[in-house]
Amino acid sequence: MGTSYSGGHVIVVGSLDSRVKAIVAQVPLVSGSENLRRLVRSDMILQLRAMFAEDYERRMKGEKPLTIPVVCKSPPEMCALPTADAYEWFTETGKKRAPNWKNDVTLRSVEYLSMYEPINFIRGVSPKPIMLIVAQNDVLTPTDLALEAYERALPPKELEILPGGHFDAYVKEFERSSKIARDFFLQHLGKK
């Protein structure tokens, strides 16, 4: 089971590791390059790429890596997750759950995210069962990209669509999403 970024990880690992027997990917990141194109304004892409290059040069010299905020209140400020729901989650809900969280991520992490393409591995999951739990109005890991990944997946596969956005899977729809995942695993991994 993986959610958001790790929702992409379980797709990749499930495709490559024969020990994995069933997969649930909840509100998964399936295409880092498409996420970057959708989350970063087009007029800021060149600036971001220049920041990636500067960070690389600094690290090669043994200097401290560059960082940017994870979330920001009012884009066009540069941050890794420039959506209103991400800002609300990390600064309000998430901060209560992880009081030591810092609003800081390395540029290298953002660059690696931009090259991460779990969608390219999804067909390799079969014949293991896979379930995608997708939020109907997800702007952080866009709904249409997750649905495209589901279409590419081979059977056996299942799809559940939750109302709301990305973070609703963790709060408003948590009981439902966790029950869906539990029931899927019981069906496919339960005692026979």
The answer to whether 119 and 149 have CB atoms below 8 angstroms apart is yes
- Residue 25 identity (one-letter amino acid): A
Sequence ranges of the domains in the chain: 1-31+117-191, 32-116
pLDDT single digits (tens) 117-142: 999 999 999 999 999 999 999 999 99
pLDDT (tens digit per residue) in 24-81: 999 999 999 999 999 988 888 999 999 999 999 999 999 999 999 999 987 667 899 9
Cα 177 from Cα 135, distance rounded (Å)? 10
Q: What is the pLDDT of residue 65?
A: 95
Task: Return mean pLDDT, the chain.
Answer: 94
Q: What percent of the chain has pLDDT over 70?
A: 98
The rounded distance, in Å, linking the Cα atoms of 56 and 65 is 8
Please say if the pLDDT value at position 110 is more than 60: yes
**Assigned CATH class of 1-31+117-191:** alpha beta
pLDDT of residue 75: 65
Distance separating alpha carbons of residues 135 and 117, to the nearest angstrom: 19
Q: Does the structure show a pLDDT above 70 at 192?
A: no
Give the per-residue SS3 of the chain.
Answer: CEECHHHHHHHHHHHHCCCCCCEEEECCCCCHHHHHHHHCCHHHHHHHHHHHHHHHHHHHCCCCCCEECCCCCCCCCCCCCCCHHHHHHHHHHHHHHCCCCCCCEEHHHHHHHHCCCHHHHHHHHCCCCEEEEEECCCCCCCHHHHHHHHHHCCCCEEEEEECCCHHHHCCCCHHHHHHHHHHHHHHHHCCC
